[in-house]
Copies of this chain bind each other. A is one copy, B any other.
Amino acid sequence: MELDSINPYVLKVMPSAMRKFDHDISSDPKIIKLTLGEPNFNVPDHIKQAAIDAINHNESHYPYYWGYQPLREAASTYYQAKFGYHYSADQILVTVGATEAVASAVKTLFKPGDAVIIPTPAYPLYNALTTLNELNTILVDTSDDDFILTPTKVEQAIADHPDWDVKGLILNDPNNPTGVAYTEEQINALAPVLKKNGIWVISDEIYGELTYGQKHYSISKVLPDQTVVINGLSKSHAMTGYRLGLVFGPSGFIDEIAKVHQYTVTAAASIVQYAAIEALTHGQDDSKPMLKEYQKRRDFVAKEMAEAGFGVVHPGGAFYVFAKIPADLQMNSWDFVNTLAKEYHIGLMPGDPFGDNEYVRISYAASDEALAAAMKAVKQLVADDSAQTTE
List residues of chain A with CB under 8 Å of any chain B CB.
Answer: 1, 3, 5-11, 13-16, 19, 23, 36, 38, 42-43, 48, 51-52, 55-56, 58-65, 96-97, 99-100, 103, 107-112, 125, 128-129, 132, 134, 167, 198, 200, 225, 238-243, 250-253, 255-260, 262-272
Contacts and interface: CB of A to CB of B under 8 A. Distances in A.
Contacts of A19: 64-65, 262
Contact of A96 (B51, B96, B250): B96
A241 B111 contact: no
A260 B107 contact: no
A242 B270 contact: yes
A198 B5 CA distance: 9
Given A65-B16, A263-B132, A271-B51, A238 B10 contact: no
Contacts of A259: 10, 13-15, 128
Name the residue in A15, A129, A259, A264 with the highest tally of chain B Cβ atoms < 10 Å from its Cβ.
A264
Contacts of A241: 59-63, 267, 269-271
A25 B149 CA distance: 49
B263 A109 contact: no
B108 A64 contact: no
A38 B64 contact: no
Nearest to A262: B16
The dominant DSSP class at the A interface is helix
Given A1-B250, A5-B109, A240-B61, A265 B14 contact: no
Contact of A265 (B16, B96, B110): B96
Given A23-B64, A260-B10, A264-B100, A253 B1 contact: yes
B10 A107 contact: yes
A264 B99 contact: yes
Given A13-B259, A243-B269, A167 B100 contact: no
A3 B61 contact: no
B252 A103 contact: no
B52 A125 contact: no
Given A5-B109, A269-B272, 17 more contacts: A6-B253, A9-B111, A15-B255, A36-B62, A38-B61, A42-B60, A52-B55, A52-B56, A96-B100, A99-B264, A99-B265, A99-B266, A100-B265, A103-B265, A242-B269, A264-B264, A271-B272
Given A3-B252, A6-B253, A52-B52, A243 B263 contact: no
Among all A-B residue pairs, the 6 with the closest Cβ atoms: A241-B270, A99-B266, A42-B58, A1-B252, A60-B241, A1-B250
A265 B97 contact: yes
Contacts of A240: 60-62
A23 B243 CA distance: 25
Given A51-B271, A256-B10, A58 B43 contact: yes
A129 to B, nearest CB: 6
A43 B269 CA distance: 14
B263 A7 contact: no
Contacts of A108: 6-7, 10
